[in-house]
Amino acid sequence: MKYIISLEFIYLIASITYILGLKMLGKPGTARKGNLIAAAGMTLAIFGTIFLYQGEVPTYIYILIGTAIVIGTIIGWMIAKKVGMTKMPELVSLFNGMGGASAALIGLIEFEHYTGQTLSTATIVAGIIIGSVSFSGSMIAWAKLNGTLKNPIRLPKYNLINNLIILGLIVFAGYMTWSGTSSQVYLYLLFFAALAYGIMLVIPIGGADMPVVISLLNSFTGLAAALGGFLYGNMVMLTGGILVGSAGTILTFAMCDAMNRSLVSVIFGSFGQGDSQGSDDFTSDSIAGSIKKTTVSDVAILMNYSQRIIIVPGYGLAVAQAQHAIHELEQLLVDKGIDVKYAIHPVAGRMPGHMNVLLAETNVDYDKLAEMEDVNPEFKNTDVVFVVGANDVVNPAAHTNPSSPIYGMPILKAENAKNIIVNKRSMNPGYAGIENELFYNQKTSMLFGDAKAVIQSLISELKGM
């Protein structure tokens, strides 16, 4: 009986819940349960650690721990519950940073207790570097995603500078480990240098690549947790940490795959061209032809007499907060007997799944959301494609122009439809910063204006028909 409630056994159960939970998170049917199972295991591990600890602990320490947990739970719960759906991705980054910071702090506290023990010191120092980089990097990613930091800040030769910094950090860490120093000054020097590196690493990366960066930093924090587990011989930290480090890395590569970009090009260069601005080379071969403008009434008539319409939502829809309007438009069209679908590109918006989350807020029928592979063959039978705030994901240059920065990225084949209506506020380029060939297509008409306003006018026009 005693063995059943032993801490080691609890850690084993918790580890199982992490594995099961993560596995279940990979399938829509079991995802919610998976999350709850992992949460239950985590809670068990936490309480087990507190109450089954072998050692003399003054009561006030328990109060300290309890208070920290209570405060953290209240704040964490409130932030996660209250904040709008579109802020979910940046919250992932924020909470990831919290974990990284926690790992770094553990290292800072424990350093003095392991002076002279080379391998333990190495573990501590590595944990501090990785945790700090993850923390400051995640904070920058958070700032970029919530609009506080708009443009990537790129110093000249930023890649060289960053590589020198990390090299210096590793050398310094190595020195600290092998010299067996007990210097707190060196310790904090290392800490602040690592924080600085985290900032320098993420700040030059464009907003569109943030999901990949966050996934990478996610695995870093997992690794930092594992190092803590290694240090204490704590099994649950080890399993949880390595699991996240490993799975997180694979997920990062999967995200890069969906954008058809390599991880290297995300971290070290815009579109894999080093320090170039990306768009310079391309706009010099400007696209022949001109754009056609259209009006709300014309588009309303076009839609009213269509049989099949596909809506392509993009970041602009989120910016204009027009998701409820587009849902209303969809319902109106469906009531008129028109077949309406949404074509969701894997990287439309700022995160994989961004458009799904946005539309889910409006209770869109899930069957109406089509994935790229499924919907691409249907474009040629579609009367109208309504592109709302999406740009690069429908740019044919991705398969026609080998010199284009987005060449090779799988796109939605909107150009095959019979009529293409593009709603944007202006002719400003999208995230890739390049011209979109689709806009100059014979079948395309541009409907300029704020998405929400335009859609609402469309709705009133259609209601009158």
User: What residues are labeled active site?
Assistant: 392
Whether residue 95 contacts residue 195, with contact meaning beta carbons closer than 8 Å, is answered with no
Identify which of 459, 226, 259 has the alpha carbon closest to the alpha carbon of residue 347: 259
Whether residue 314 contacts residue 387, with contact meaning beta carbons closer than 8 Å, is answered with yes
Q: Find the shortest distance in angstroms from Cβ 232 to other proteins.
A: 6
Nearer to other proteins (CB atom), residue 95 or residue 186: 95
Q: Find the shortest distance in angstroms from Cβ 67 to other proteins.
A: 8
Q: Find the shortest distance in angstroms from Cβ 275 to other proteins.
A: 29
Whether residue 370 contacts residue 342, with contact meaning beta carbons closer than 8 Å, is answered with yes
DSSP of 196-212, one letter per residue?
Answer: HHHHHHHTTS-GGGHHH
Find all residues with CB under 8 Å of 218, minimum gap 6, and list them: 92, 96, 244, 248, 251, 252
Q: Which tokens in the block code for residue 382? A: 């579609």
- Residue 421: helix, strand or coil by DSSP? strand
CA distances from 130 to 87, 153, 226, 232 (A): 26, 22, 11, 17
Nearer to other proteins (CB atom), residue 77 or residue 305: 77
Q: Find the shortest distance in angstroms from Cβ 228 to other proteins.
A: 4
Q: Find the shortest distance in angstroms from Cβ 81 to other proteins.
A: 6
Q: Locate the DSSP E strands across 315-366.
A: 339-344
Nearer to other proteins (CB atom), residue 27 or residue 157: 27
Task: Give Cα 235 to chain centroid, integer Å.
Answer: 29
Measured between alpha carbons, how far is 7 from 16 in angstroms, rounded to an integer? 14
Q: Which tokens in the block code for residue 449? A: 């204006």
Nearer to other proteins (CB atom), residue 87 or residue 154: 87
Whether residue 313 contacts residue 348, with contact meaning beta carbons closer than 8 Å, is answered with yes
Task: Write the DSSP symbol of residue 362.
Answer: T
Whether residue 264 contacts residue 272, with contact meaning beta carbons closer than 8 Å, is answered with yes
Kindly report the CA angle at 109 between 106 and 111, in degrees rounded to 5? 100
Rounded to 5 degrees, what are φ and ψ at 39?
-65, -40
Measured between alpha carbons, how far is 76 from 71 in angstroms, rounded to an integer? 8
Nearer to other proteins (CB atom), residue 158 or residue 230: 230
Q: Find the shortest distance in angstroms from Cβ 22 to other proteins.
A: 5
Q: Find the shortest distance in angstroms from Cβ 406 to other proteins.
A: 17
What Rg value do the Cα atoms of the chain yield, rounded? 26
Nearer to other proteins (CB atom), residue 182 or residue 456: 182
Q: Find the shortest distance in angstroms from Cβ 370 to other proteins.
A: 11
CA distances from 333 to 308, 437, 446, 454 (A): 10, 28, 20, 15
Task: Give Cα 389 to chain centroid, integer Å.
Answer: 19
Q: Find the shortest distance in angstroms from Cβ 135 to other proteins.
A: 9
Measured between alpha carbons, how far is 48 from 107 in angstroms, rounded to an integer? 22
Measured between alpha carbons, how far is 283 from 231 in angstroms, rounded to an integer? 54
Nearer to other proteins (CB atom), residue 167 or residue 250: 250
